[in-house]
Amino acid sequence: MLMNPQDSCIIRNFGHFCELSGGEKSLLHELEKSPTSVRAGQALWQENDKANEFCTISRGWAYSYRDHGDGSRQVLEVFLPGDIVGLREFAFSQRLAGVMMIDDGVVCHFPHRRLAEVIRQSNKLTTVLFAIASRQQALLTERLVSLARRSAHEKLAHFLYEMYLRVLQTGATDDGHFRLPLSQEQIADALGLSTVHVSRTFSAFREKGMVLRERHKITLLDSDALARVAQFDSRYLHDNVRPLFAD
């Protein structure tokens, strides 16, 4: 089975950074051959597994994580449809973190050598790959700041507003409503909080008329107020790649 280019999440993702030619779309389309259905809770790989391929998330959400000896888990990154998973491990022979599906989805695995082919054939796509890798690093940096310095209210506000903006870029949100398939426990593991603390903070946001959470549906009742609580600076989500391709 081959993905239709019109339905390709990776093409939409790269298209956010620059205009793509037909040839460039074809190169990206090659990375979404042989899509594989995966289930919620299924590991794409485990920490210390052999690292010899990437994958694209064509449908569904996933997260990377590290497990600790006391049984706790730290969620490191959240991946949305169109994201490339495993870029940071290109220079390593073993996985630095595990990756698990959050909900049912479709992933496309491709070996490192196929990415090398893209790099050889397109300077533009290579530039965008560097931009994507830089953005993933920026997301991790913001998560580090949250873990180290933000209060519980600031952590959750920042996380929700960030996810809203990321989902907005995929076109999968409607006037402040978006799907957030993470469980309360997974959100807690991403923010270094207890599930009780996450629940109380959601309740506080609801009482203040900022956020309504109904299972996996988030409604931002007052997105400006939420951004103020988070002291949100969106620079790390804005790219500056497009001017490089201007005529």
Task: Report yes or no: 71 and 38 within 8 Å, Cβ to Cβ.
Answer: no
Average pLDDT, the chain: 89
Provide the residue ranges of all domains of the chain, joining segments of one domain with +: 5-123, 143-237
pLDDT over 70, % of the chain? 93
Angle between helices 152-170 and 195-207 (to 10 degrees): 80
Sign of CA dihedral 119, 121, 127, 129: negative
Residue 241 has pLDDT above 80, yes or no: no
Range with the poorest average pLDDT among 49-63, 170-184, 187-201: 170-184
Beta strands across the sheet bearing 177-179? 173-174, 177-179, 217-220, 211-214
Nearest to 32 by CA among 11, 7, 3: 3
Amino acid 115: pLDDT: 80
CB atoms within 10 A of CB 12: 17
Sequence-ordered list of residues with C-beta below 8 angstroms from that of 69, at least 6 positions apart, any chain = none
Please check whether the two domains, 5-123 and 143-237, share a CATH topology: no
What average pLDDT does the segment 62-68 reach? 95
Per DSSP, 9 falls in state: H
Amino acid 112: pLDDT: 85
Residue 212 pairs in a beta bridge with 219
SS3 222: coil
Q: CATH topology for 5-123?
A: Jelly Rolls (2.60.120)
Judging by beta carbons within 10 Å of its beta carbon (0-12, 13-18, 19+), is residue 21 exposed, middle or buried?
A: exposed
Amino acid 1: pLDDT: 43
In the chain, what is the straight-line distance between the N-terminal and C-terminal CA atoms, in Å?
A: 37
Amino acid 61: pLDDT: 97
Q: How confident is the model at residue 247 (pLDDT cuts 50, 70, 90)?
A: low
Domain 143-237, second-level architecture: Orthogonal Bundle (1.10)
* Residue listed under structure tokens 């389309």: 29
Q: How confident is the model at residue 243 (pLDDT cuts 50, 70, 90)?
A: low
* Residue listed under structure tokens 């996933």: 62
Range with the poorest average pLDDT among 3-17, 33-47, 57-71, 72-86: 3-17
Read off the pTM: 0.88
Q: How confident is the model at residue 168 (pLDDT cuts 50, 70, 90)?
A: confident
Token pair listed for 192: 């270094």
Amino acid 39: pLDDT: 97
pLDDT digits (tens, 9 = 90+) for 216-227: 999 999 999 999
Q: State the DSSP H helix or E strand holding residue 217, giving kind and residue range, or none if neither.
A: strand 217-220
What average pLDDT does the segment 174-191 reach? 92
Amino acid 3: pLDDT: 46
What average pLDDT does the segment 78-94 reach? 91
Residue 2 has pLDDT above 70, yes or no: no
